[in-house]
Chain A
Amino acid sequence: MSARDSGAPAGRTVYRIRWLPGTDRLHASCFCGAEREFEDPVVLWDWLLGHPEGHLPRPPEAHDSPAPAAALV
């Protein structure tokens, strides 16, 4: 018996959405490196699937800092 780690292997066209614990917010990451937070999964998918529109990958040194708040729309 073995436990599998859920989820897709790295290095692919993968979208990831994390529900931030203790909040109502969803954190979306595109395969291109762009990240953003949302409160509505429909708006979130519109943004993710709109790639590359509005997808600005974060600079590499910023990767350990907290995710930026969602831009105003």
Chain B
Amino acid sequence: MIVTEFARNQWYVAAYGHEVGRQQLGRTILNEPILLYRTEDGRAVAMADRCVHRRFPLSESPSHLVGDRVVCGYHGFTYGPDGVCVAVPAQQRIPRTARLRSYPVVEQDSFVWVWIGDREPGDTLPPRAPWLTSPDYTTVCGMEPLNARYGLLVDNLLDLSHETYLHGGYIGTPEVAETPITTEVDEDAGIVYVSRHMDDAACPPFYAESTGIKGRITRWQDIEYRPPCLYLLHSRVAPVGSPPPAPDGTDEHAFHVEVVYAITPSTENSTYDFWAVARDFALDDEKVSDFLRDSNRTVVLQDVTALNTLEQVIAAQPDRYQELSVNIDTGGLAARRLLARMAAQGDSVPSQAAAR
């Protein structure tokens, strides 16, 4: 079944770094309304987006920032960047319980990650996507809100055979759906790998126009899903007949695109679909950037439209949901199981977890 439970005690992408500034940003993650902003010295902070007084959202005007503090737009309760209330209108005494829950934040690889859970993250750090800020790559990115449960996006991204049908004319060609996959699950690390290596494939416009390749290509799609949130597609394209990567890992005859998604559940039936495309060629070519940004956004919106429809279908008959899995679903089934396990573990109190 599609996973609907949330995996708590995990890192989630709440925003791109460039979205978080001296203006409040409100995001709902795993049903928790969260306020994000940057202090004057540039630090991103996250706290509950509901005033303790009468629950007015601190991300909504006329709530506003004064220095590092946020002032509620309803009656003026004022909070520091740690969420502690520092001023209550017309009285000296500040109730001891007047504090907003604050969230651990890590800013990394252009993302603002927020820890959602009941215990502290400790040494656990978010997974990496270093290409997004590497000087050797140029990145375009965006975020599309999805009105569907996050499990539908996980299913979608783990099975790229849908490119042939849903994204024909952009990234899909017949070879994607025709080529068998290999799947690996690393239980210890909690990672799902799905690989599809096409030896001789048509070059879809997405790659033909960005790389300038005219003929057929060798096309490798190596998915690395680090549940719950981070999805990496290591994409390699090269003209057919080009030498394979050298034993030392260098691969100068191929073009590399790192397609990164962050899948952040918002509510039971809505999801933030963060997407980024990092390339190691035509680094300074604005036209290539514009083309890849437009194309990938179009592709993401094709998925969004399809998944929004699917959500309606599934939500209409929750107890009559039936599906049929075939070979292309091998990776998606693995991802579902890891997510279900993480959701079960994240809910258990630590003593129970230790007893397992």
Could you tell me if B330 and A44 are in contact, using CB atoms closer than 8 angstroms?
yes
Q: A41 is contacted by which of B188, B245, B326 (Cβ under 8 Å)?
A: B326
Residues of B within 8 A of A3 (CB): 220, 236, 244-245, 249, 251, 254, 256
A1-36 near B? 1/0 per residue, CB < 8 Å: 111101111001111111111001010000100000
Query: Are A17 and B193 neighbours in the complex by a CB distance under 8 Å?
Result: no
Residues of A within 8 Å of B250, CB to CB, are 1-2
Interface: B348 (CB within 8 A): no
A53 within 8 A of B: no
Cross-chain contact of B280 among A1, A14, A45 (Cβ < 8 A): A1
A16 touching B330 by the CB < 8 A rule?
no
Q: Does A71 reach chain B (CB closer than 8 Å)?
A: no
Q: Least Cβ distance of A50 to chain B in Å? A: 12
Q: Which residues of B contact A15 (CB under 8 A)?
A: 184-185, 187, 334
- Measured between C-beta atoms, what is the minimum distance from B225 to chain A in Å? 12
Which residue in chain A gives the minimum CB-CB distance to B183? A17
Interface centre among A3, A12, A24, A49 (most CB of B within 10 A): A3
* Chain B: minimal CB distance from A27 (Å): 9
**Is B222's CB under 8 angstroms from A4's CB?**
yes
A-contact 0/1 string along B333-345, CB 8 Å cutoff: 1100100000000
Min CB distance B234 to A, Å, is 6
Number of A interface residues in the complex (CB < 8 A): 27
Separation of A24 and B178 alpha carbons in the complex (Å)? 11
User: Are A8 and B184 touching (Cβ within 8 A)?
Assistant: yes
Determine if A40 is an interface residue (Cβ-Cβ < 8 Å): yes
**Inter-chain contact A8/B222, CB cutoff 8 Å:** no
Asked whether A1 and B183 contact (CB < 8 A) given A6-B193, A12-B189, the answer is no
Chain B minimum-CB-distance residue to A29: B184
Which residue in B188, B245, B254, B325 is a CB contact (below 8 Å) of A40?
A: B325
- A42 interface residue (CB < 8 Å to B): yes
Residue numbers in A under 8 Å from B185 (CB-CB): 8, 14-15
B136 at the interface (CB under 8 A from A): yes
Chain B residue nearest to A11 in the complex (CB): B188
Q: From B187, which residue of chain A is reached at the shortest CB distance?
A: A13
Q: Is B62 an interface residue (CB 8 A)?
A: no
B252 proximal to A (CB < 8 A): yes
On whether A41 and B333 interact (CB within 8 A), knowing A13-B187, A16-B182, the answer reads yes
B97 located at the interface, meaning its Cβ lies under 8 Å from any Cβ of chain A in the complex: no
Q: Judge whether B191 is part of the interface by a CB distance below 8 angstroms.
A: yes
- B237-258 CB mask vs A (1 if < 8 Å, else 0) is 0000000110011111010100
Q: How far is the CA of A45 from the CA of B191 in the complex (A)?
A: 16
Contact A7 B334 (CB under 8 A): no
Q: Are A45 and B337 in contact (CB under 8 A)?
A: yes
Min CB distance, A33 to chain B, in Å? 15
Q: Does B303 contact A (CB under 8 A)?
A: no
Quick check: is B327 within 8 A (CB to CB) of the other chain?
A: yes
Within 8 A of A (CB), among B178-200: 180-189, 191, 193, 195
In the A-B complex, list the 5 residue pairs whose CB atoms are closest, starting with the nearest: A19-B180, A3-B245, A6-B222, A8-B186, A2-B249
Pairs across A and B, CB under 8 Å, 15 listed = A1-B250, A1-B254, A1-B280, A2-B249, A3-B251, A3-B256, A6-B184, A6-B223, A8-B185, A8-B193, A12-B189, A14-B185, A15-B184, A19-B327, A41-B327
Q: A6-B224, A15-B187, A26-B327 are in contact. List 8 more A-B contacts (CB 8 A).
A: A3-B236, A4-B222, A4-B234, A8-B185, A13-B186, A13-B188, A41-B327, A41-B333
Interface residues of A (CB under 8 A from B): 1-4, 6-9, 12-21, 24, 26, 31, 40-42, 44-45, 49
